[in-house]
Amino acid sequence: MLMPPFELHRPSTVEEACAMAASLIESGQEFDWIAGGTDLIPNYKWHINTKPHVISLARIEGVSTISMNEIGCMARLHDIAEGGNAHPLISEAASKVASSLIRRHATLGGNLCLDTRCFWYNQAEEWRSSIDWCHKCDCGTGSDCRVIPNQNTLCVATYQGDLAPNLMVLNATVHLIGPKGARSVLLHDFYQLDGMTRNILEPGEFMLKITLPDDVADWTGSYRKLRVRESWDFPEAGAAAAWKKGDRGTLRVATTALESIPRRHDEEVASANGDVKAICDAIYKSTKPVNNTALPPRYRRNMIKVLVKRACEE
């Protein structure tokens, strides 16, 4: 595998980063952000949607805070998992990501903005050419989706991040910044259903940090991840649940790796009146995984019942 050539920019402040992004946009140049690189670099080596410019956030200071109420975009997953400063649920989720080597590099921002995955897409260039490409990376051929041919233009690649559902159930807010200024949204409004656009980030914008509500320390919960191996593997399905200690009525549930977005299931929880089995069934009904990860969708869909049940266990 040969890394395609690109120009690496290394700003040392947020402002500098935004200015670089603005000037690249202005000159019509495409670029990617890079944080830990554990998602982007493998994709680049496979020549997937490579760009001529890459802006690294690694030299920016002050964006790797880890505290109960705030985590910076460059906080390493290893530090979130082992540092003892983050919320226990977030630490638990971070400790289940990939492998220890990858966690040393991988960051919060990178994990939340993880590219969506699909076995028709996460392949070497030669391989993708043998299937005549797919619409997530069509190399100018205008080709169709390989998972569900002849559908509309929506990409159904699966979002397989571990942290997002956990932050969602803790009501995290993401703080974005870009050439047009800063803005904040709740994490569960951050993602977009199309596996190509993935989220609401606009050109030049990047995720600066996440914040958690003031009372988050009073909340507890757990995360269940389905995977074949206890290391390396992305979740084939994942369920996070959280509730305020001593108050099960506050239960929130979110899932990941079932669709092109992680999703919080407020409606399903509300409709079930606190009955965990009913929550499981409602989520089962509302989720429709497709065949693009290692395990078959029917199984993953059924497993969400088990995972949600287990995540809700006190």
Q: How far is the CB of 302 from another protein (least distance, A)?
A: 7
Q: In angstroms, rounded to a whole number, what is the distance separating the alpha carbons of residues 61 and 12?
A: 7
CA 274 distance to own-chain centroid = 28
- Report the distance separating Cα 299 and Cα 201, nearest Å: 32
Minimum distance from CB of 127 to another protein (Å)? 6
Nearest to 280 by CA among 237, 245, 233: 237
Q: Nearest approach, Cβ of 292 to another protein (angstroms)?
A: 10
The token duo for 303 is: 């497993």
Q: Which residue has the tokens 């985590």?
A: 71
> Is 129 or 271 the residue whose CB approaches another protein more closely?
129
- 165 Cβ contact partners less than 8 Å away, ≥ 6 residues apart: 93, 223, 238, 239, 240, 254, 255, 256, 262, 263, 264
Nearer to another protein, 124 or 270 (CB): 124
Nearest Cα residue to 116 out of 241, 222, 259: 259
Which residue, 8 or 228, has its beta carbon nearer to another protein?
A: 228
Q: Token pair for residue 8? A: 């690496």
Q: Which residues bind another protein (CB under 8 A)?
A: 1-2, 5, 99, 119, 123-124, 126-127, 129-131, 146, 226, 228-234, 294-296, 298-299, 302-303, 306
* In the complex, minimum distance from the CB of residue 182 to another protein, in angstroms, rounded to a whole number: 36
The tokens of 19 are what? 């200015």
Identity of the residue, 24 or 93, whose beta carbon is nearer to another protein in the bound complex:
93
CB of 146 to another protein, least distance (A): 8
Nearer to another protein, 12 or 129 (CB): 129
100, 125, 119: which is closest to 44 by C-alpha? 125
